[in-house]
Each structure stands twice: as C-alpha cells, then as structure tokens.
A and B are shown apart, each in its own frame.
Chain A
C-alpha cells in the first residue's frame, strides 16, 4: 500500500498538467464536431495527447479507418520504445494481467517518472503513479468539452494554441541540446510546409502528411546520424 501512495504522490504533478492540456483537447474536440461524451470516451480509452489531437483531425476530415490506424501507429510508436524500456525495469511480480492493464498508462510523462525511480518498479507503484494523471486527463476533457460552448470565441481561439505550445515545449529543448535532433526536426518541419503549400502535394490529408514527414525525416536521421545507446539515454 505504501508503494501505491508513493505512486499517487509522484503522479500528482502530472495529473495537474494533464488537467489543463486535456481541457484544450475537450475544447478542440467539441469545436471539431464531437459531442461532449464522445470527447470524453476518446480520452478515457486512449490517454495520449498527440494521438488524440491527430485522431479528431482525421474524424473531422472524414478520413479512412486505415488513415486513422496509421496515424495512431506512427504518432504513438514512441510508446513501443518506452514500453520496451519499462519492461526491463519492472519487478518480477509485475507481469501478465497487470502488464495488460497498466501498460495502457504508458505516456511520455508517466514513463519518465517511472524510469527515474530508483530500483525496480512494482505494479502497485505504477498503478498509483497512473491514477491521478488518468483522472486529470478525463476530468479536464469533460470540463473542456462542456465549457467549449460557454467560453467566448476569442478565448477558445487562443486556447487552440495551447496544445501546440506544449509540443513546442517538448521539441525545442531537445533541439537545443542535440544538433542532430535540431537538423532532423527542422527537416520534418520543412517537409510539412512543402506538403502543405506545394501544388499537387497539398491534396494529401493532414493525417498522412504528418506520417510521411515524420517517417521520411526520421529515416534520413537514422541513416545520416545514427545514435549509439549512450547518446540515446541522454536524449
């Protein structure tokens, strides 16, 4: 039980952060045409910021199911890498059904806190760690979706920037500290501009555009500047 309460404590800051970001997700989801309970269900069943924003974009554009599946696969592929790392750190009682249930809660932030814990990670600790972020994420979505109709237009317009602000806050420090990430991320951004504005290319839907840009730039990065293990730990 002590492990669980320690997890709750360690997850509280993430929970507050998620509350605010999911609020903007709720706003965005409703303004893109979802009902409040649909937005809430998306958050309850996915618990992933970038993936969910991409998901409602595909829904709004009436994209195909294949497009939805591939966009989720590519955007959330990083979780596979995190899950692999985490699988090396959990204690031997953390297996089977516990993994199938709690593995759902692998997010960038929960993963980062779990990995920074000294020694092995128990199922109880991880369950505690995931509890407040999950509640924050779902509650924030609900509030954002419901408030979307009440807030003045210029406030909800401005809040449309919040998710991108968060993305910028993730990529800029990494670009600053590693010149390879700087170059490859700028390359992806350049591809993205090209797909958006070039005639002939701009008919590609936004979901696929992100996939094409990210996969192409990352492949070029892996080929031109492969990282060794020690370097990846730093990133």
Chain B
C-alpha cells in the first residue's frame, strides 16, 4: 500500500471514530427520546457483530472445517456465559488442534 494512502485511511478512521465518541459526549445533556431511534441504536451492536462474524468466520483459518469446529466451540461456551477471553482462546485452540489433525492425516497419506 502506498504510504500516503495509508495515512489517509488512518486519518479517516481516526476522525470518524473520534467524532462519534466525543461529539455526543460534549454536546448531549439530554437523552434521545424517540423510541425508534433508540431501538435502532440498541440493535446496532448485535447486528454489526453478527454480520461481521458470519459468514466471514468460516474463512478465518484457511480451513472451513477447522473454522466450523471453532465456531461450534465458541457458540457453546458463549451460550454457557463464558467470558470474552475464554471463548476467543478456546475457539482458537479447537481450530488449532483440528488443523494439526488434518495435517497429520495429510502426512499419513504419504
């Protein structure tokens, strides 16, 4: 990537993210009353993270099978209320172990 392009991307990210946080913090003293706007904003974190995760997560490890195992582990642990760190590490570990198994099987062919 061209250096100037990187700085421009960085500047855009910084300005937008900074203003989103600081502008309402400085300006607002009253709550937003409109329940539709409030509801829209309440749904946003989950719809954003859901759409970011699926289907991209299945292509995150280079193997759809190991990624799927990681997803199943993550869903199970998250359902049981485990913390962010536990879920993230166990999902990675599961995918790693499955990658190893696939690799050993590949070796066994020869």
Q: Report which A residues bind B (CB closer than 8 A).
A: 16-17, 20-21, 24, 33-34, 38, 41-42, 45-46, 48, 50-55, 58-59, 62, 65, 68-69, 72-84, 86-88, 96, 99-100, 103-104, 106, 108, 154-155, 157-176, 181, 184-189, 191-193, 196-197, 206, 209-210, 213-214, 217-219, 221-223, 225-229, 232, 235
Residue of A nearest to B81 (CB): A173
Q: Determine whether the beta carbon of A189 is less than 8 Å from that of B50.
A: yes
Is there an interface contact between B29 and A59, defined as CB atoms closer than 8 Å? no
The number of residue pairs between A and B whose CB atoms lie closer than 8 Å in the complex comes to 299
Interface SS of chain A? helix
Give the contacting residue for B78; candidates A79, A172, A191; CB below 8 A. A172
Q: Which residues of B contact A77 (CB under 8 A)?
A: 20, 41, 44
Q: Judge whether A46 and B36 touch: CB under 8 Å.
A: no
Cβ–Cβ contact A69 & B12, under 8 A: yes
The contact of B21 among A53, A88, A104, by CB within 8 Å, is A104
Other than A81-B41, A165-B89, A169-B74, give 18 A-B pairs with Cβ distance below 8 A. Answer: A34-B6, A42-B13, A52-B13, A68-B16, A83-B22, A96-B26, A158-B61, A161-B88, A162-B88, A165-B91, A169-B77, A173-B78, A186-B50, A188-B46, A210-B51, A226-B35, A226-B39, A227-B35
Per-residue contact bits, chain B 28-61, to A (CB 8 Å; 1 contact, 0 not): 1101100111111111111111111111110011
B contact residues, total (Cβ < 8 Å): 76
A160 touching B21 in the complex, CB below 8 Å, given contacts A46-B14, A165-B74, A214-B47? no
Minimum C-beta distance from B91 to chain A (A): 4
Residues A170 and B81 in contact, CB atoms below 8 Å apart: no
Kindly report which residue of chain A lies nearest to residue B63, judged by CB atoms. Answer: A157
Point out which of B32, B42, B62 has the most chain A C-beta atoms below 10 A from its C-beta.
B42
B16 adjacent to A171 (CB under 8 Å): no
Given the contacts A221-B39, A222-B40, A83 and B28 also touching, CB distance less than 8 Å: yes
Contact among A34, A166, A175, A223 with B84 in the assembled complex (CB-CB below 8 Å): A166
Chain B interface residues toward A at CB < 8 A: 1, 6, 8-10, 12-14, 16-18, 20-26, 28-29, 31-32, 35-57, 60-63, 66-67, 70-71, 74-75, 77-79, 81-93, 95-96, 99-100, 103
